[in-house]
Chains A and B, each alone.
Chain A
Amino acid sequence: MTTPNVMLSRVANAIYWMSRYVERAENTARFIDVNLQLTLDRSPVVSPQWMPLVNTTGDDQTFIERHQTDDRDAVLEFLTLDPDNPNSIFACAAVARENARTVRETITTEMWEQVNELYHLLKNARATQLNHHFFRNVKRCAMLFNAVTDSAMSRAIGWDFAQLGRMIERADKTSRILDVKYFLLLPSKDDVGTTLDVIQWRALLASVDALEMYRQQYGTINPTHVADFLMFNGDFPRALAYCLYRAQHALNKVLPGPDALDAYLAGQDAQRRLGRLVSEVQYGRADEVIAAGLHEYLDEFQTKLNACDDAIHAAFFQPRLLEASA
């Protein structure tokens, strides 16, 4: 292409979603795996619950329609292999692969091979094999995909859209995991900051691979600090602040110039929406957020993030000129 800052809308869209779905698959595998390990602890205080995992993906309604029980097997099968659950790991891998297939001339061969491997791992999996080993493999496959993307793709527009998709998806997933777990552990506003169940809080941090980095920063586990770390830390790669800052950086690189006015204005809209959200998480304070209601805050955050996603779609992926004179 003559201008490096331009890409077919369809191709940009496919790259963005390929990247989001791989990230979604990895996140789901990550928190299932943590829950599986919790069950091994056999703590007398905590009996691991499976339904919150479904809450996290936001597919409660679909699950209830299809399952009578919310036991481990039903939830694992639903979240991992169910082809009719659009957010199951299998479905994510399949959609990521379909998207990759349409842009094979744009992505690298290694990226294609890696997304293919993820798909075949899920396609060949059986319900009886859904153990720690399996979910670790899913995570590894997804991480390898990210690794070959980062190590072999030019930091040009294609990579920027992959990065944008990955970071927006990751911010969304971290916010959901925090929301569900926090809600579950501390259901009412008054209880926040009073109850501390170290096992559960550890599990929450582990679900986003944050335990070790959190310890380095804060040492002991404290709910306000956990919320602060996962929302407002600018250095931890799964924290909202970090993800959105990276997403903003990628978005700024793909914005069209003022030559094409429609495209320019649509790009500006996406930039403003994301920029506002970035400043919220960059300068937020956990104690204030918790005092005002963490769930309310995260709920609003997700709504605003969805609006950013809509604005990105409108700016880059939707044909502005619908039909032209033949």
Chain B
Amino acid sequence: MQLLPYPKTPGYDELVDPTGRPRPSAAMLSQRLGQMDADEIITRQSAAEAALFEAGATFSVYGENETNERIIPFDIIPRILTGQEWDDLEAGLTQRIEALNLFVADMYGGRKIIRDGVIPEQFVELNQPTWKACQGITPPRGVYCHISGIDLVRDGEGDFRVLEDNLRCPSGVSYVLENRRVLKQTLPRVFDRLNIRSIDDYPEQLLTTLQAMAPDAIDRPRVVVLTPGIYNSAYFEHAYLAQQMGVPLVQNTDLVVHEGYVQMRTTAGLARVDVIYRRIDDAFLDPTVFREDSLLGVPGIMGVYASGKVALANAPGTGIADNKVIYAFVPDMIRYYLREDPKLLNVDTFLCARDADRQHVLENLDHLVIKPAHEAGGKGIVIGPHATRQQRADCADQIKADPDNFIAQPVLRLSTSPTICGDAIAPRHVDLRPYILMRPDKVHIIPGGLTRVALREGSLIVNSSQGGGTKDTWVVDAPGRATQPQSETADDTPVYAQTQAQILAQSPAPRRETSPQDADS
């Protein structure tokens, strides 16, 4: 099956350059694909998908009478990033997660960034139950955002831009690991000849990250993964990560608060739990603090967390930095807390709450994407150029009635990547979600991440619920350059724990007032 000739794409293509030739990092892959006929590639594609199904890399689809398990469609043509591209991204992501973590810490401490006028108070959701419950609590060693996934897209010029910061319970990393395992069996010769950075140490890195949060000086902290249960669509991932780390997978009924600790019910009585990687949202975590109707939570767990006797990943309350309005301020956060210029671009964002922005949005509805500020999963989005006149008018009315709840962004031309479509290879739009682990002393990012692909021609929607698939993501180094294992601490690694208190205590802006809380924040 030949990669070339490849249709000319309006935007940036990940593997083919504007002259229609494979990019240097994709040359070997292009050659190998050309040696296989369509039948062979389709056979390998089916075998790869069958291997994923057998491994149980499934998500659940709920029908009327029973639950079916399906895999997310997997495309065996990888998306390739060069080592240089990745190093730049990694630096940008590291910078961004540090600033976001500082912001969260600041919101539950002195709120200096608001008092210094960098982010107006009206844009921060300070009245949420989570914010109130987390006031004054400092998680172990100041880390809030242990595990996050930052969604990136490439614009028409080929520049990466951040689309979304997922700081709550980002899922999908199990697909990254399984996709890689399966693709190694599918295209072994290409793997053999290229210098592809390994991702195999992710479970080890995740376990180390979780163990690093253990309260007190516990020798062998007991880490568990908390799942909502087998009916959760991401149950496979919860079980997979627990299995890979060799730690228990627990449900809320396995846990109980007793004598000031979170304990799990075992065959030999209660046993203390030190670190919980919880895959349930804040709102369901503790029915005595948040939603009373939560059947997934552990009553009293927030009290134990506040007393420092259990660590939660991610820390409750990271959601304050994870919405479409705060997103617009992340570049300002980077400049404010780190005194650096942002290394990664945002998508230009207009906040309808601002008079000038709203004016611009209302005048340019047919060129913009309008998003509700506090919805997730593509809910309520209006794509201006595709909307009817009536839809745009309705949208304008909604914006005028509740400007705080809307933001707008220009329509992006997402990059494409060659994808198997029937018996040919065609361009399809992709995004990228790298997974970021944050420890007190180090930020670790899995090289590459999850590439999601919109399998329908022209579609920009990569969600698996709407016809999206996944690809393996390769970070390929030039021949001769040894891949650097991520576990080696490089010189430029930020020593985060030492700097957080200093950063939040320093006075970057002249109007700052000192309060007694600052020293502790």
Write the residues of chain A forming the contact surface with B, with a CB cutoff of 8 angstroms.
1-3, 5-12, 98, 101-102, 104-106, 109, 112-113, 157, 254, 256-257, 259-260, 262-263, 315-317, 319-321, 323-326
Instruction: Please report the C-alpha to C-alpha distance between residue A115 and residue B173 in the assembled complex, in whole angstroms.
Output: 27
| A109 partner residues in chain B, CB cutoff 8 A | 55-56
A-B contact pairs, 20 of them (CB 8 A): A1-B222, A2-B222, A6-B268, A8-B264, A9-B265, A10-B254, A98-B230, A101-B230, A101-B235, A104-B56, A105-B239, A105-B248, A109-B55, A113-B54, A256-B267, A315-B267, A319-B256, A325-B257, A325-B258, A326-B257
| Contact residues in A for B270 (Cβ distance below 8 Å) | 260, 321
Give the 10 A-B CB pairs with smallest separation, nearest first.
A260-B269, A256-B268, A326-B300, A263-B269, A105-B243, A324-B258, A105-B242, A316-B267, A326-B299, A105-B239
Chain A residues within an 8 Å CB radius of B502: none
**When A321-B258, A324-B256 are in contact, do A102 and B230 touch as well, CB less than 8 Å?**
yes
Contacts of B268 in A (CB 8 A): 3, 5-6, 256-257, 259-260, 263
With a cutoff of 8 Å between Cβ atoms, the chain B residues found around residue A12 in the complex are 267
Q: Which residue of the partner chain A has the closest CB to B221? A: A2
Given A102-B230, A105-B249, A326-B299; A9-B267 close (CB under 8 Å): yes
CB-CB nearest in chain B for A317: B267
B265 to A10, Cβ gap below 8 A?
A: yes
Q: Which residues of B contact A317 (CB under 8 A)?
A: 267
Contact (Cβ within 8 A) B267 A6: yes
Question: Does chain A have a CB within 8 A of B220?
Answer: yes
Q: How far is the CA of A2 from the CA of B256 in the complex (A)?
A: 19
Q: A119 CA to B268 CA in the complex, in Å?
A: 32
Other-chain residue from B54, B239, B266 in contact with A8 (beta carbon distance below 8 A): B266
Q: Is there an interface contact between B257 and A324, defined as CB atoms closer than 8 Å?
A: yes
Q: In the bound complex, what is the Cα–Cα distance between A199 and B222 (angstroms)?
A: 60
Residue of A2, A5, A323, A325 most packed against chain B (CB within 10 A): A325
With a cutoff of 8 Å between Cβ atoms, the chain B residues found around residue A324 in the complex are 256-259, 300
CA A6 to CA B266, docked complex, whole Å: 6
Interface size on B, residues (CB 8 A): 35
Chain B residues contacting A101 (CB-CB under 8 Å) are 230, 235
B243's closest neighbor in chain A, by CB? Answer: A105
Are the C-beta atoms of A8 and B254 separated by less than 8 Å?
Answer: yes
Binding site for A on B (CB under 8 A): 54-56, 220, 222, 229-230, 235, 239-240, 242-243, 247-251, 253-254, 256-259, 264-271, 288, 299-300, 303
Shortest Cβ distance from B247 into chain A, in angstroms?
A: 8
Name, among B239, B267, B303, the residue most crowded by chain A CB atoms within 10 Å (CB to CB).
B267
Given contacts A157-B267, A260-B269, A326-B303, are A8 and B248 in contact (CB under 8 A)? yes
In the complex, residue of chain B having the shortest beta-carbon distance to the beta carbon of A12: B267
Q: Pick the contact of B248: A1, A5, A112 (CB < 8 A).
A: A1
Q: How far is the CA of A6 from the CA of B265 in the complex (A)?
A: 10
A10-B258 in contact (CB<8A): no
Question: How far does the Cβ of B206 sit from chain A's closest Cβ, in whole Å?
Answer: 14
Contact partners of B250 in chain A: CB under 8 A: 8, 10
User: A104 with B243: in contact, given A1-B222, A113-B54, A263-B269 (CB under 8 Å)?
Assistant: yes
Contact partners of A315 in chain B: CB under 8 A: 267
Considering the complex, give the chain B residue whose CB is closest to the CB of A5.
B268
Chain A neighbourhood of B253, CB < 8 A: 10
Smallest CB separation, B244 vs chain A (Å): 9
Given contacts A1-B248, A105-B243, A319-B256, is CB(A325)–CB(B269) below 8 Å?
no
Decide: A104 and B239 in contact? CB cutoff 8 A. Answer: yes
Are B256 and A321 within 8 A (Cβ)? yes
Residues of B within 8 A of A260 (CB): 268-270
Quick one: closest B residue to A161, CB to CB?
Answer: B267
Q: How far is the CA of A253 from the CA of B242 in the complex (A)?
A: 25
Which residues in A have their C-beta under 8 angstroms from that of B239? 104-105
Which of A104, A113, A254, A320: most chain B Cβ within 10 A?
A: A104
Are A8 and B265 interface neighbours, CB within 8 A? yes
Partner of A7 from the list B256, B267, B299 (CB cut-off 8 Å) is: B267
CB atoms of B230 and A10 under 8 A apart: no
Q: Is the CB of B266 within 8 A of A9?
A: yes
Residues of A contacting B265 in the complex (Cβ-Cβ under 8 angstroms) = 8-10, 319, 321
* Residues in chain B near residue A256, CB distance under 8 A: 267-269
Min distance, Cβ A30 to any Cβ of chain B, angstroms: 28
Query: Is B257 within 8 A of A7, CB to CB?
Result: no
Q: How many angstroms from the CA of A151 to the CA of B247 in the assembled complex?
A: 22
Q: How many Å from the CB of A125 to the closest CB on chain B?
A: 16
